[in-house]
Structure 1
Amino acid sequence: MPDIHETVLEIDLGALEHNYRYLRSRIRPATKFMAVVKASGYGSDAVAIARKLVSLGVDALAVAYASEGVALRKGGITLPILVLHPQEGNFEEIITHNLEPSLYSPRILKGFHEIARREGQKGYPVHLKFNTGLNRLGFWENDVRFIREEMGESEVLSVKGILSHLGASEDLDERDFTERQIAMFRRIVQEAEKALGPIPIKHLLNTSGILNYPEAQWDMVRSGIGIYGYGNDPRFDPELKPVVSLKTVISQLHRIEPGETVGYNRAFRAEGYKTTATLPLGHADGIGRHYGQGKAFVIVKGKRAPIIGNVCMDMLMIDVTEIDCKEGDEVILFGKGQSADEFASYAGTISYELLTGISPRVKRIYKDRNPG
C-alpha cells in the first residue's frame, strides 16, 4: 500500500474473501448464500464488494432499495438481486432492471401485482416477507389466504422465495424468543406451500443466525455485517477480518500553554503544556460531535490519542502530548489496533451506524486487489 496522505477508507478485498469463506464453512455446501450489500456495501463500495463476491461464487445479493439494485446492474452485476424494502414508486424500475422485490404487505403485493400485469410480465420472481416478531416489515401469519386470493390463478408473479428476519439472534439470553421465531417461520412455510405450491428458496438466518442457529438455515442464508468482518459476538471476532479501515493524517501540530483552549466554544482547556494535532476529517465525514470531548480515541504510532474539544465539520483535534509524532503521520480511527465496534462504543452506538455513516467524500482505496 502507498503511504497515506489524506483521509481514506481502505477496503481490504482479501479480508472480504476470508470472511465469505469462513461464513460459508458454517453452513451446508448446498445452502445458498445471499450477501447484503445495501447502504453502499455497509459504507464501503457496493459495486466493488459485489464484483469480488461474484468472483467468489456468491449466489445472490440483497439491497434495501431499488436505486441500490439499479446501481449494481449499471456496475455490471447480473446475479439475482433482492430488494428488501421496495416502494410503490419504484415498481417499474424494479421490473426494468430485473430486480426481485420482497413483498411485505397487502398494499405492496397488490400494487406490484398490478404493475407487473400492466407490464406484461409472466412468472416474475418475487419473495414474500413474513413478520415473526421483529414487528418491522412483513405479512402476518394469517395473511397466507389473502396472498393466495390476490394471486389467484394468475401467472404474472412467481413466488421464488419466502423469508423473515430474526430480531435478537446475536443475544443468547433471547434464545427462547429466537426459537419461537424459527418455529413460527416453519409454520408459515408449511401453510404458504400448502396454499401456493412449492417455494424454491426459504431464508431466515442473518449473520448471527448463521453462527448461532445453523439448524435453521433452510435453502439460503443472508449475511450483511459478517462479510464485512463483524460477528456481533466476541467469540467470533477472531475468525473474521474487518474489511474497511478509516485512516487519515496529521495536518498540523500545535503546542499550547496551560489555560489555552482548542476548537469551537473553547470546549477543551489545557491544564498544562499540551501538544495537539489537527486531523482533516469531521462530522461531514461521518465522525460526529458525539465522539468529541475526550470520549473517543484514535491510534497514532500504535498509541491511543483522545479526540479533544468539539468535532468540527471538516476537522477534529487530538491530544498527542505523550506521543512522538510529526505532521503528515498516519492516524487510524478504526482498523489495525482498534475495531469499528470499539470506536463506535465510545459514542454508545454500534459498528453498523459508524460504517454506513462514512461520507462519500472520503476517498475509497483498495488493499491487495483492484476490484476491476
Structure 2
Amino acid sequence: MINLSLKDIAQITGGELIGDGDVLVSSVLTDSRIIGKSSGTLFFALKTTRNNGHKYIPDLLKNGVNLFVVSEKPRDKKVHGILVEDTLKALQELAFYQRRQLQGKFIAITGSNGKTVVKEWLFQLLSTRFKVYRSPRSYNSQLGVALSLINADHGSEVYIIEAGISQPGEMERLEEMIAPDVAVLTNIGEPHQENFTSYEEKTREKLALFRHAEVKVVPADCVPLQKLLLNNFTGYYAWSYHSSYGASVSVMSTGKKSVLTFKGRINHEVSIPYTDRASIENAITCFFTLHASGFDPKEFEIVFSKLEPVAMRMELKQGINNSILINDSYNSDIGSLAIALDFLLQQAGSGKRIKRVILSDIVQSGKKPEDLYDEVNKLLEEKGIDQLIGVGEAISDHAGLFTIPGHFYKSTGDFLKDIDQFHFSGEAILIKGARRFEFESVTEHLAYKVHKTTLEINLNRLAQNISVFRGMLKPETRIMAMVKAFAYGSGSFEVARHLQFHGVNYLAVAVADEGVELRNAGVTLPIVVMAPEMQSLDTLFRYHLEPEIFSFDILDAVIAEAKALGESSYPVHIKLDTGMHRMGFLPEDVDILIGVINDQNFLKIESVFSHLAAADEADKDDFTMEQIHLFEKNAEKIKSGIGYEFLKHILNSAGSERFTDYQYDMVRLGIGMYGVSAAGNEDLKPVGTFKTMVSAVKKVKKDETVGYGRKGVLTRDSEIAVIPVGYADGLARLLGNRTGYAVINGNKVPYVGNICMDLSMLDVTGLNIKPGDEVILFGDEPHINTVAEWMQTIPYEVITSISQRVKRVFTRE
C-alpha cells in the first residue's frame, strides 16, 4: 500500500504538480465505476484506443475524489494532481518506485496457461512457513502488474507476481517493474498467439522476464524453447519428462492422486491429489520453483498432498427472496476480498439493496489479527457494506473492531443453525471464505432453486467478445447491445449490468416490460424498446425508455402521449424498411415522415436505422449492399429534411463482422456478443454452458429398449446414464435417438431413445460414469452451432429455448 504525498508522486513520475502537493495519497484508482473511499484516493485518467479516463473527472469530483494524474490539463480548479505525458507510464513509474521499497524474494511467473494456478499453489505452499504476498487473481497485464505492486504488503518475505503479455514489447516493461529474483515459465501455447508471428517469437518475448533473474525455471520439453536455447539449458532450472534436457520427472497416477518422482538435481517424490495433465505440470513447476528458489521441497510434502483447487472465478446466482448471491467461497485474503466487493457493488446497482457480506476467518495473512481485521473493517466501510456475518474463531474474537452492524459465529455449523433467523430479502450478498469453512453449504441454503440443471454464463467471455468486436470497429463507433428475450436466454439484468460496466452505449429490449425490469435492477443506460405496444406508452415515458418508431400509427401515438405528458425532444429511433419487409418506414414514406417530425417538437430523432435480412449469407451479399445503399440514401434525406444530426446504424452482429466499412455511428450486437460468429471467428467464445449432472447409471441388456415408444434399441449390453433435463428445460426432442451427444468427463456420449419432458438418457457404456458426474449439454463442446445443426435450426432458437426453470449461474474470473 502507498503512503506518499502528491509532491512525492509528482517527483517519482516526473510530472507537473497541480494544486496542493502536501496532500497524502493512500490509494490509487483507475476505474471510475468503482469508488471506495474518496479521501486520499488518486485517480489515474488512463487513455486507451476505446476510452479516455479524463471524461469521468467531473463525476469523480461529485463523488468526493479530487486527486488526479492527467495528461490533459484540467479546467476545474478543484482538481489537485499531476500533469504527465502518459498516465499509464506514470502509474508504472509509481509501481517501479514501490517495488524498490519492498524487501523479500520476488518470484515472477509467465506462460500461456497455468500462471494463476502455479501462483496460487506456490502461495498455498509457501504461506505455511512465510509471510507471502501474491498478485490478486489474474492481475497480470501492464495495468494489473502495476496495481499489484502498488498495493503489495510491505513486510512480506516472498512476493509472487503473475506476468502476462498479449503482444510484442510488453514483457520488457513488466520485467522492469517486477525485477524478479526468480522467473518461471509454465509453458508456451495458443492463448494470445494472434499478435505474434510464431510460437518462437512469443517465447522470445516471454523470456524477456528472465533477463536479470538469478534463477530461471523452464519446461525443457517446450519445443519453441528448445529452438531458442538450442537445447543448451545452462543457467536454467529445466525439468523434462526426458532426462536428456533437464532434471527428469516421472508420473504414476492411480485413483485420484499422482506420485511425481524427480531425478537429477534433486532426488525426491511427492504426491498430489490430481491426475489431469495440466495439474501435474503445474505441480511440477511449483516443485522446481521451490527448489530453485532455495526452499527445500521436502518440507512441503504434506502441503503438496493437500493442494486445493484454485477458484478462478466468482459465481453470481439468483438468491432466495429476490436476492442476488455472489459465491467466492474458495479463498480468503484482503486482495481478493477487495475485488469481490467491487463485483458486489457492480451487481447491487444503484438501488436500495442491502449489501451483506458473509466472511470467514482470513487465513495465512501473516498479519497480526488485530491489524488484519481492522483493515477488513476499513475496507467494508469504504465499500459501503451494510451488514456483516463473520464466521470463525479469529473474526469472532475481534468482533469489537467492526463498526458496521454484524453477527459473529465460531463455526459454519453454528451459523447454519441460526441462518433462518436472517430474512434475506432483496439483498446483494457476498459469500467469501477460506475453503476449510465449507461455505458451499451456505451457498446452497441461500441459492434460489435446487434444480441441478444450470445455464452457466461466463461474464468474462461476454466482455471478451465485446472487445473482439471493438477491435473490428473505429474507436468512436458506439455499441447497442441486444438484451431482449431474457438476454438471449442468458439472464437479462445480470448481463445488462455487466454490459453497462463494460461501457456499451445502448441496450435494446423487445417490449417495455423488459426495460422496466432493467430499470428496477439499477440499469441506467439508454434502453431502446424495439417493439413498443400502444398500451405501454405511459410505461415508456415513466421509465425513460426510448421507443423504436416503425409506423405512422405508433409515431402518432407516441407524439400524443409525449404531448399529454408535457415532454419535449423525447428521444426516439426511426426504423427504415430497406428490404427486410418486417417493420419500418418504406422509402416512399420518408417525405411524409419528415413532415410529421417537423410539425411537432415533442419528439427528437436520436437515431435512424435499418436491419439487414441476410448479412450472414455470402450468396446474398448483393442484396445486403442494396439494403445498405438504400438506407444511406434515405437516412441522408431525413437528415437534410429535419436539419439536425442523429446516429445511423444498420449492422447487426453478422454485419459487424462482414461489412465493417458500413458501421456508421453505431452497431447492434446480438448473437455475436454471446459467442456465435457469422464469419468463423474463433476469437468469439461461447458465453453460455448448458450443464447438468448424472442422476443414475443402470445396466441394460442387449436388445432391450430405452425410453418412450421403445425407440432406443440397444445393440449391446449397455450402461445408461439418466440426467435430470428434458424438453421442458429446453433440450430439444430432435436430439434424441443418437442424433446428438453430450460430454461427460471429456467423453462424447449419445442420447439414447426419445428425450423426455424432465429426463434424458445417455449411452455411457465402458466409461466408468457415476452419479454426480458433470454433463455438458452445450458450451465449448458440443458448440451451440453444432447443436443447432442437429436440431435443423439456428443458434438463436437453441439458446432462447432454455427454460426459466433452469437456474442461471454467472461466473467472473
Report Cα offsets for 1:169-227 as digits up to 9, x if no partner: 11222111111011000111111112222232111111111111111111111101111
Gapped regions of structure 2 (runs ≥ 5): 1-310, 312-329, 331-439, 441-449
Match of 1:216 among 662, 672, 685: 662
Query: Bigger shift: 142-151 or 160-169?
Result: 142-151
Query: How do 1:16-35 residues align onto structure 2 when only pairs under 5 Å count?
Result: 16-35=462-481
Query: Aligned partner of 1:335: which letter?
Result: G
Match of 2:788 among 344, 347, 369: 344
Match of 1:176 among 608, 619, 622: 622
Report Cα offsets for 1:67-122 as digits up to 9, x if no partner: 11111111101110111111111111111110111100111111221122122211
Residue 631 of structure 2 corresponds to residue 185 of structure 1 = yes
Larger Rg: 2
Measured in 2, the distance between the counterparts of 1:335 and 1:39 equals 20
Query: Identity of counterpart residues, as a percentage?
Result: 39
Measured in 2, the distance between the counterparts of 1:74 and 1:19 equals 26
In the TM superposition, residue 151 of structure 1 has moved relative to its aligned partner by 3.0
Measured in 2, the distance between the counterparts of 1:298 and 1:148 equals 55
| Helix, strand or coil at the partner of 1:349 | coil
Query: Aligned partner of 1:366: which letter?
Result: F
Pick 1 or 2: higher relative contact order, CA cutoff 8 A, min separation 6.
1
Measured in 1, the distance between the counterparts of 2:502 and 2:678 equals 24
Gapped regions of structure 1 (runs ≥ 5): none
Residue 686 of structure 2 corresponds to residue 242 of structure 1 = yes
In the TM superposition, residue 306 of structure 1 has moved relative to its aligned partner by 1.0
Residue in 1 aligned with 2:556?
A: 110
Residue 499 of structure 2 corresponds to residue 53 of structure 1 = yes
**Superposition RMSD on alpha carbons, in Å?**
1.6
Residue in 2 aligned with 1:285?
A: 729
Report Cα offsets for 1:271-307 as digits up to 9, x if no partner: 2211111100111101121221221111112111111
Measured in 2, the distance between the counterparts of 1:88 and 1:97 equals 16
Query: How do 1:37-116 residues align onto structure 2 when only pairs under 5 Å count?
Result: 37-116=483-562
Query: Aligned partner of 1:14: which letter?
Result: N
Match of 1:251 among 692, 695, 700: 695
Q: Contact 1:162–1:199 at 8 Å: present in 2 too?
A: no
Measured in 2, the distance between the counterparts of 1:265 and 1:311 equals 11
| Helix, strand or coil at the partner of 2:728 | helix
Report Cα offsets for 1:8-61 as digits up to 9, x if no partner: 111101101110111111111111111111111111111111111111111111
In the TM superposition, residue 126 of structure 1 has moved relative to its aligned partner by 0.3
Residue 810 of structure 2 corresponds to residue 366 of structure 1 = yes
| Helix, strand or coil at the partner of 1:146 | helix
Query: Aligned partner of 1:231: which letter?
Result: S
Measured in 2, the distance between the counterparts of 1:57 and 1:368 equals 17
Structure 1 segments, 4+ long, off by >4 Å, are 1-5
| Helix, strand or coil at the partner of 1:285 | coil
Query: Aligned partner of 1:202: which letter?
Result: K
Match of 2:586 among 126, 140, 143: 140
Q: Contact 2:526–2:546 at 8 Å: present in 1 too?
A: yes
Residue in 2 aligned with 1:160?
A: 606
Query: Aligned partner of 2:561: which letter?
Result: I
Report Cα offsets for 1:318-337 as digits up to 9, x if no partner: 11114221111111011132
Measured in 2, the distance between the counterparts of 1:336 and 1:175 equals 30
| Helix, strand or coil at the partner of 2:791 | coil
In the TM superposition, residue 149 of structure 1 has moved relative to its aligned partner by 3.0
Q: Contact 2:732–2:791 at 8 Å: present in 1 too?
A: no
Measured in 2, the distance between the counterparts of 1:110 and 1:218 equals 28
Residue 672 of structure 2 corresponds to residue 226 of structure 1 = yes
Residue in 2 aligned with 1:317?
A: 761
TM-score (norm 2): 0.44
TM-score (norm 1): 0.95
**Number of aligned residue pairs:** 367
| Helix, strand or coil at the partner of 1:155 | coil
In the TM superposition, residue 5 of structure 1 has moved relative to its aligned partner by 8.8
